[in-house]
Amino acid sequence: MNSIILSSKKKIINLLNEYLLEIDKNVKNSKHELQWFSDSSKLDSILFKEKSVYYVVEGNIIIYMGDELNKKDNTFFISPRNILLSMNEFFEILNYKPINSSYQIINLNTSKSRYRLVFSFTSIDEKFLKNLDYRKLYYCIDCNLCQTVCPISKVIPDFYPIEDIKRQIMEKNMVSEPLCTSCKACETVCPANIKMSEYLLNLKFKKEKTFLERILIMLNNKPKYQEKVNNYINNRLK
């Protein structure tokens, strides 16, 4: 686990309102255009663009991950998950997320070109950020390390543990079909310390519960029974 990434991601996501206000002020003061995007229906068309751009609050900086920027390419799409506090965090992310292309650092305070920044904040973001448990999934840095160690991914090549959790929450507002061997290998490699077993194994994320599951949840709230309950859940899902 990397403490720089974890502490920075926690701070950004948990104090997002404050940082969005700071970003709004930074960008407008540097004479660039800022827009807020909230149309979920068009999200797929810009998702690939979001993944290639970071915004660094400290310094009012854009980091573009890709080939040389065309002079006409003056628009950057940025999601809440790609806001960073400092350049140090970006360099730490590179340790876990090797890139196949070069990256460009654009200081918005000194750049002679004028850029348009589009921050997407959709209903999907709202769903995750409103729920304190789901919000933790936004600590993810898209390094895909969880996929490289997951035994399920060896059988289903396109399976990504964290992406499957997010998909189920978006589609059903719960995690009801856990594809998990309870090995917790994903947690040992996650640089953002996301406990995916909380979503895959913990019964509190199931919407409809049997009588036995309700009893287990009640017992799990009592410290002296927690270990037994967790062992029962893990054995049941093996």
pLDDT (0 to 100) of residue 32: 94
Please determine, for residue 67, whether its predicted confidence score (pLDDT) is greater than 50: yes
Q: Are 45 and 19 contained in the same domain?
A: yes
Does some domain include residue 40?
yes
CA dihedral 93, 97, 101, 103 (to 10 degrees): -10
Average pLDDT over the chain, rounded to an integer: 80
Domain enclosing residue 37, as ranges: 3-126
Which alpha helices (H) appear in 59-137, and where do they start and end?
A: 87-96, 123-130, 132-135
Does some domain include residue 34?
yes
Does some domain include residue 216?
no
Helical pair 16-29 and 3-14, crossing angle rounded to 10 deg: 90
Q: Are 108 and 13 contained in the same domain?
A: yes
pLDDT in tens, 107-141: 999 999 999 998 888 778 888 888 888 999 999 99
Does some domain include residue 224?
no
DSSP annotation of 237: T
Total number of domains constituting the chain: 2
Q: Are 110 and 19 contained in the same domain?
A: yes
Annotate 21-59 with b (16+ C-beta within 10 A) or e (fewer).
eebeebbeebebebeebeeeeebeebeebbebbbbbbee
pLDDT (0 to 100) of residue 177: 67
Q: How far apart are CA 94 and CA 41, in angstroms?
A: 31
Does some domain include residue 18?
yes
Minimum mean pLDDT range among 56-65, 95-104, 119-128: 95-104
Q: Are 171 and 122 contained in the same domain?
A: no
Does some domain include residue 230?
no
Q: Are 119 and 188 contained in the same domain?
A: no
Does some domain include residue 232?
no
Q: Are 22 and 85 contained in the same domain?
A: yes
Q: How far apart are CA 22 and CA 217, in angstroms?
A: 41
Q: What is the mean pLDDT of residues 171-194?
A: 82
Q: How far apart are CA 18 and CA 98, in angstroms?
A: 30
Q: Are 149 and 109 contained in the same domain?
A: no
Q: How far apart are CA 226 and CA 237, in angstroms?
A: 17
Q: Are 108 and 180 contained in the same domain?
A: no
The model's confidence at residue 237, banded by pLDDT at 50, 70 and 90, is very low
Q: Are 83 and 180 contained in the same domain?
A: no
Q: Are 178 and 121 contained in the same domain?
A: no
Q: Tokens representing 20?
A: 């969005």
pLDDT (0 to 100) of residue 13: 93
The model's confidence at residue 30, banded by pLDDT at 50, 70 and 90, is very high
Q: Are 183 and 75 contained in the same domain?
A: no
pLDDT (0 to 100) of residue 106: 93
